[in-house]
Structure 1
Amino acid sequence: MAAVRDRLAALVERHGVPADQAPRDALTEIPASAVSTWGFDWPRAERARPSAVLILFGSLDDVPAHHADDRVHPDVDVLLTERAATLRTHAGQIAFPGGRVDPEDADVVATALREAEEETGLDPDGVEVLGVLPPVPVVVSGHVVHPVIGWWRDPSRVAVVDQAEAAAVFRMPVGDLVDPANRCRVARPGGRRGETPGFLVGERLVWGFTAALLDRILTLLDWDTPWDAGRVIDAHTHAPLRG
């Protein structure tokens, strides 16, 4: 698994900054590097608020991957949560642990670790923070999100801590995420225009902001596998719309 950790570190070295250079100021500014890293110029909110997410990869827990792929180590997974259905934004969606930057947070790394501990109960001491990728604006929630990349050096038990925040906490095998049979495009609910990348693994659908980040990170890591981008499903029902 050392090779997986090293590949993640190389990703941060190419596209981000190390943990000790994590942003502390001007947290809603979007640098030019964000466009080249994420592949397109994301729409921006007028009065954005800074936030951070923890994108935490680690050695697979006791839930094995169902799909094997030569590009991806069979034992690597990523930590995800299912947001509570009662939340104002992104309700019920699968997401990385994270949240808004608080005034007492030293930097966005501190934000990501604090939020992850509050949401999942993980022990931050077991996380090696490899660095921070360029921020991404999210218009629907009015945030600028700083993605913190971590390696779960010493995994701890995780579970739902606050049911008002999360309905589930789980570790998703990356092998299943890259399975072409689980890849799709997702039509936004309520007739909203546009589609997002999607990963439909069993009954769990990752779409929207989280899927867009995962899709790009897998590409940058050279872990993605060709799949049918003509397959489109509905965000709410998971019913096929095209393909």
Structure 2
Amino acid sequence: MPLETPGTGAREQLAALAARAGRAGFGAGRVTGTPAAPGARAAAVLVLFGMLDDHPSDHAPDAAVSRDLDVLLLARAATLRSHPGQVALPGGRVDPGDADTVAAALREAREETGIDTDGVEVLGALPPVPLEYSHHLVTPVLAWWRRPSPVRVVDVAESAAVFRAPVADLLAPANRGVTVLRRDGAEWRGPGFVVRHDAGEFLVWGFTAMLLDGLFTELGWTEDWDTGRELVLPPS
């Protein structure tokens, strides 16, 4: 039997989470707390983890998480009408030609980041998450990068940056906080993560931050952080 390579433990944890997700109730209730609206459009995102050996995090997590572990993210183009400038996971709507939500997540990731999906191992799909504001029902697809390939901005009209963010950086308490969105007299609060990359400093918030926060909590990776620290949202 081959020796365990760095990151194998994280892969097994993610695979186990995908296997138990339905029974554990992870998904709509834990991420957004809202039921799916009738007629919501199906969508999917790829939550792709791997080992970023050339840019490890400077932060040593409390949990058994390697400083090389990373997750694939992108920054949406500022000119987009929907969620301009936000950091997101690769993904989009399920097209009629997609076999299922897994196929949709892989296709969207290939179109948005240029990855070779033949090198991606799908670990499983989590229960779909309803997004009331955009009227979508989003299926998160957990995956592991068994054979990494280069990533890039494929279409500048769609994305401003594509990068692999060290998970340890996301877990670092200094990079965590709460985002507050005030609109039409209502207030929405959620988790936020500060991500620094060659392309600049980004704030992960909204659906992507909620999903990552829920994943990290379920996996036992979350460290104590200041839940009273407010992170300023970029101008919309």
TM-score normalised over the length of structure 1:
0.86
Matching of residue 9 in structure 1 with residue 1 in structure 2: no
Amino acid at match of 2:57: A
Matching of residue 164 in structure 1 with residue 157 in structure 2: yes
CA separation in 1, counterparts of 2:233 and 2:209?
A: 12
How far is 1:70 from its partner?
3.4
Matches within 5 A, 1:111-126: 111-126=104-119
Amino acid at match of 1:170: F
Structure 1 stretches of 4+ with a deviation exceeding 6 A read none
Unmatched segments (≥5 aa) in structure 2 = 1-6
CA separation in 1, counterparts of 2:105 and 2:28?
A: 23
Query: What's 2:78 paired with?
Result: 85
Matches within 5 A, 1:96-135: 96-135=89-128
Query: What's 1:183 paired with?
Result: 176
CA separation in 2, counterparts of 1:114 and 1:188?
A: 31
SS in 2 for 1:62: coil
How far is 1:91 from its partner?
1.1
Query: What's 1:194 paired with?
Result: 188
Superposition CA RMSD, Å: 2.0
Amino acid at match of 1:236: P
- Identity across the alignment (%): 57
CA shift digits 1:25-50 (9 cap, x unpaired): xxxxxxx9355762552254443100
Cα distance, 1:159–1:40 mapped onto 2, change above 3 Å: closer
State whether residues 27 and 128 of structure 2, in contact with CA within 8 Å, keep that contact through their aligned partners in structure 1: no
CA separation in 2, counterparts of 1:109 and 1:58?
A: 18
Query: What's 1:25 paired with?
Result: none
Query: What's 1:29 paired with?
Result: none
CA shift digits 1:53-88 (9 cap, x unpaired): 000000114222121113111110000000111222
State whether residues 49 and 145 of structure 2, in contact with CA within 8 Å, keep that contact through their aligned partners in structure 1: yes
Amino acid at match of 2:168: G
TM-score normalised over the length of structure 2:
0.88
SS in 2 for 1:115: helix
Query: What's 1:66 paired with?
Result: 58
CA separation in 2, counterparts of 1:217 and 1:155?
A: 22
Unmatched segments (≥5 aa) in structure 1 = 18-31, 238-243
CA separation in 2, counterparts of 1:228 and 1:61?
A: 29
Tell me the matched-pair count.
Answer: 223
Cα distance, 1:120–1:39 mapped onto 2, change above 3 Å: closer
Query: What's 2:4 paired with?
Result: none
CA separation in 2, counterparts of 1:39 and 1:119?
A: 25
